[in-house]
Amino acid sequence: MDLRIKRWGAGYAVFDGSKRLTAELSRYEIAEHRKDKISAERKQQRRPCLCCTEMFMSEGAHNRLCKSCRQRDVEPAHCSVARGSRKASLS
């Protein structure tokens, strides 16, 4: 990952190498904010859900269940595989 803020037009833009990722931004602070957001999004990874094994965008190592399985959390019988580790991380 090599995100950089460079001058673009009359303002700034966020670049990944030579690829421009944002529109022209009027202020450096705005570009910096966008850069942080983009790099946070990139930390997310596709992981298989521990419950249904479907691929989903994980927010990090703590996040191993897909959205629909997390919503079903009230009925743990649906997720026999993940039950042990999930309970531990919740307490």
Footprint of Zn ion on this chain (CB under 5 A)?
49, 51-52, 66, 69
Nearer Cβ to Zn ion (9/48): 48
For residue 49, the minimal CB distance to Zn ion (Å) is 3
Looking at beta carbons only, is 35 or 47 nearer to Zn ion?
47
- Minimum Å gap between C-beta 7 and Zn ion is 44
Q: Which is nearer to Zn ion, 25 or 69 (CB)?
A: 69
Sequential DSSP letters for the chain: --EEEEEETTEEEEEETTEE-S--BSSHHHHHHHHHHHHHHHH-EEEE-TTT--EEEESSTT--S-HHHHHGGGSGGG-TTTHHHHHHHH-
